[in-house]
Structure formats: C-alpha cells, structure tokens
Amino acid sequence: MSNAAPDLLPAYIPIFSFELEQTDYLIAQKEQLSRILTPTGGNIQKIWLTGTLTSYEPGRQGEIIRIADPTGAVSLIIKPQTLDSLEPADLVPPLFLSVTAHPEKNTGSDNRTIRWIVETCRIATKQDRDIWIQAAAGSLLNRLHELRKGLLSGDLNEEMREAQTHYHIQYGHLTGFAERAEKALGVIKEPGPPVDPAELILSIIKEYSGPRGIHIDDIQKYTRRAALADELVRNTIRNLVAEDEVYQPAPGYIKLL
C-alpha cells in the first residue's frame, strides 16, 4: 500500500485498546511519524485513549503506564517531559487518564511489533472517559460499516483490502468487533452530581491534615485526581480563607478553623 501521507494534519483517533492490542502492521514513513494499519482498516498516525490507569512502572526506555478501557488494556511509554503540570507522584492507580500517542517500531525483547509513545497526558474524569467511549465506538462502527460494504460488494478500499489480507478478516469477524463496541457503550451510566470544589477541598483538608495542616501542593495532588484545575483550586482556597472556613497557620499550609 502507499506510504504517502495525507495533506491534512493527522488527527488523534479514538480507538479501543482491544484493536490496538491486535494491531501489528506498522507503516514506516521517511521524515514523518509511522502509521499503523488496524484489523478494521484504520490507517492511523496518532491515537487518543482515555481510560483507567492500572499501573505506572519504570522502564528502560521510559516510564510505562497501562491504561484499561472496557475492551482491554494497552501499555504506553511516557517520558517525564510529557507530564506537563503533573508529577510522577500524581499517577497513582486507579485514576482516569486521557493520553495521545504515536506508534514506533518496538526494539525491545517482548515480541511486540509496535510501542506507543505518549505525547500528552492529563488526568480525566469519568465523564471524559464516557465521552471518549462514545467517540471510539462511533469511529469503530464507521470503519465496520465501510468494511462490511466492501466485503459484500468485493470493492474494498486500499487500506481495508490490505487489512483483510494481513489480518485474515472475514465477514463473521465484524459481529465480534461490533459486540466489543456495544459492551463498551454499556458501561456508560447517567452522570452523577458535579464535584463541588469547596466541599472536596474541605474534605481533603479534614482527612489529610497533620499538626501543621496540609500544604497546598498536597491538596492539589488530590484535587487533580478529580480533574480540578490548579487555578480553580487556588481560587477556591482563597475564598475559603476569606469566608473563615480555613486559615493559614504557616506559609503554604492550610488548616480548618
């Protein structure tokens, strides 16, 4: 198949981990990021994945995170500079994370063709995860629809013909793929009440304060897990101080009155 890159900038494609785990077709491109060809014919340069962080471990080529969604789990390599405002100490499972990544040829000894290099990483909420599930399911079902039409008519596009040949995809496989999307969508439930920043911060101060109270940096470690922006947290703390709910016994420390 052609290695020519499209004229448009590559988009981050939402894709379930079960399909990533089955993907072993890497398309190398000179002076550009590599691409993958997935079993459903997805020709993808960059992925978007949102799920539950299940592990965070050191590795020889970078830290290794494992993110699970309702269809499975995938491992990715994350570099310290990728964390932006996060710290390694913030990445304590279980935790919802949203990441973007690109593929590279795996040079390790684990018999995998592809390794995933994280480009961006942020703490997410359950609502973010649910939105991602809907996006990934929609993307998968669109590919399955095109693949089904092509298999029935015998007129597959180039990517899907190559995927069918490489992965030996038959018409009967499409039902299993669609069932994975249906299973993932079944995880989504009605959203709960929104997080009240003041109530959350007060509960953190109450639970984790020591003799001197709790440092603002430590408060933010917990509020990030609820995907609250640091600026919102600092402003909320200022309001709590002004309302005499909390006070500062020492610079940087907060304590309940």
Residue 50 lies in a domain: yes
> Both 131 and 202 in a single domain?
no
Contact 56, 50 (CB under 8 A): no
Helix axes 230-242, 197-208, angle to 10 degrees: 80
CATH of residue 205:
1.10.10.10
> Both 19 and 86 in a single domain?
yes
**What was the pLDDT predicted at 8?**
45
pLDDT one-digit tens code per residue, 162-197? 999 999 999 889 999 999 999 999 999 766 677 889
Residue 157 lies in a domain: yes
pLDDT one-digit tens code per residue, 119-130? 999 889 888 999
> Both 41 and 147 in a single domain?
yes
Q: How many percent of the chain have pLDDT more than 70?
A: 93
Contact 23, 38 (CB under 8 A): yes
Neighbour order of strands in the sheet with 43-44: 25-27, 35-37, 43-44
Domain end point (choices 192, 212, 236): 192
> Both 220 and 248 in a single domain?
yes
Question: What mean pLDDT do residues 13-22 have?
Answer: 96
> Both 107 and 209 in a single domain?
no
Residue 54 lies in a domain: yes
> Both 157 and 241 in a single domain?
no
> Both 94 and 113 in a single domain?
yes
> What is the Cα–Cα distance from 237 to 231, expressed in whole angstroms?
10
Contact 33, 65 (CB under 8 A): no
Question: What mean pLDDT do residues 111-116 have?
Answer: 87
> Both 117 and 207 in a single domain?
no
Domain end point (choices 140, 167, 192): 192
pLDDT at 137 over 80: yes
Instruction: Tokens for 256, please give them.
Output: 């309940």
> Both 251 and 168 in a single domain?
no
> Both 83 and 172 in a single domain?
yes
**What was the pLDDT predicted at 109?**
67
CATH of residue 35:
2.40.50.140
Residue 1 lies in a domain: no
**What was the pLDDT predicted at 1?**
44
> Both 234 and 179 in a single domain?
no
More confident residue, 107 or 136: 136
Residue 173 lies in a domain: yes
What range does the domain containing 124 cover? 6-192
Domain end point (choices 162, 177, 192): 192
Q: How confident is the model at residue 75 (pLDDT cuts 50, 70, 90)?
A: very high
Residue 123 lies in a domain: yes
pLDDT at 9 over 80: no
In the chain, the N- to C-terminal Cα span, in Å, equals 68
Structural domains counted in the chain: 2
CB atoms within 10 A of CB 206: 11
- Average pLDDT of the chain is 88
